[in-house]
Amino acid sequence: MKEIVIMSGKGGTGKTSITAALGALAGSKAVMADCDVDAANLHLLFDPQVEHEEDFYSGKKAVIDYDLCTDCGICEEKCAFDAIHWQDGRVVINDVSCEGCSVCFHLCPVDAIRMEDNLAGKWYRAKSRFDNPFVYAHLGIGQENSGKLVSKVKQEAKKVAEELQRPFIFVDGPPGVGCPVISSLSNADHILIVTEATESGLHDLQRLVELTEYFKLSASCVINKNDLNEESDRAISAFCREHNIPVVERIPFHPAFYETLEQGKTLIESDNKEIIAKIEHIYQYLTKGE
């Protein structure tokens, strides 16, 4: 089984559009995992039928037991996140501001504060309209993606792929180079980087490649909207050459990207033969030898 993670570094490069199209091509052969949980949107294109859902807990939240609270105000004074305020003569914790650091829990002289597991969202095992087994998650308002959640989604995707003996897992990775990204890269077999021909596209590609090189992961690159800026396109190509990262495809800017999105479709369902051929080529490149 081969786990391929599709990353971008920069947001808005077309990563999810390309991931969805690869999923549509693979059908039941590939398990899909949406680890871009801050802005999970693969499900919008996949119209999934949910087979299983589960609550996801992450971190802790402080809760006050008002039967024990003596209104001493120590917690309000010591909270480093300004999450506790006086309201109608008693201290109230603001759920969104509470970081779960537990300082109030430790300092409360009458043990009126307890730390409860924080319900961050739900994760789902489903089947996409292309017959892909599909694992994704939804976060509650104000909750953030985390290495823990990415690790959970990837673990479930792997379990499904093993159970059903599917040869591929395609992971839609989160943007940036932080904790969720490190977690996405962990144990991956290949990283497909989708970038775009802009200055920030190049910059974020460089940061991502620093990571893939650190972890000694095999990586390849797609330059989307490669005709946006010739100079950036050349600089990205040169950078990839220098770092032995094959540029699998260059895709010129095309309205098909947003037109299909507007219709809830994948690029494979567009009527643009050139783009479909390019996606097919990327798919063949990623799945060759299996």
Partner 1 sequence: MKVAFTAQGNGWYEKVDLRFGRAKGFFIVDTETDQAEYLDNTQNLEAAHGAGTSAAQSVINTGAGALVSGSVGPKAGSVLKAAGIEVYTVEGGTTLKDAYNLFKQGKLKKQVL
Contact residues toward partner 1 (CB under 8 A) are 58-59, 146-149, 151, 179, 182-183, 186-187, 211, 214-216
Q: What H or E segment, with its residue span, contains residue 285? A: helix 273-287
CB of 132 to partner 1, least distance (A): 24
CA dihedral 25, 30, 32, 35 (to 10 degrees): -110
Q: How many whole angstroms separate alpha carbon 37 and alpha carbon 122?
A: 11
By beta-carbon proximity to partner 1, the closer residue of 48 and 180 is 180
By beta-carbon proximity to partner 1, the closer residue of 86 and 215 is 215
Q: How many whole angstroms separate alpha carbon 116 and alpha carbon 103?
A: 14
By beta-carbon proximity to partner 1, the closer residue of 97 and 187 is 187
By beta-carbon proximity to partner 1, the closer residue of 216 and 273 is 216
CB of 1 to partner 1, least distance (A): 11
CB of 185 to partner 1, least distance (A): 9
CB of 194 to partner 1, least distance (A): 23
CB of 15 to partner 1, least distance (A): 22
Q: How many whole angstroms separate alpha carbon 199 and alpha carbon 107?
A: 49
Q: How many whole angstroms separate alpha carbon 259 and alpha carbon 255?
A: 6
**Widest CA span of the chain, in angstroms?**
71
Q: Give the DSSP per-residue string, 60-128.
A: EEEEE-TTT-----HHHHH-TT--EEEETTEEEE-TTT-----HHHHH-TT--EEEEEEEEEEEEEEE-
By beta-carbon proximity to partner 1, the closer residue of 81 and 214 is 214
SS3 at position 11: coil
By beta-carbon proximity to partner 1, the closer residue of 87 and 165 is 165
CB of 147 to partner 1, least distance (A): 6
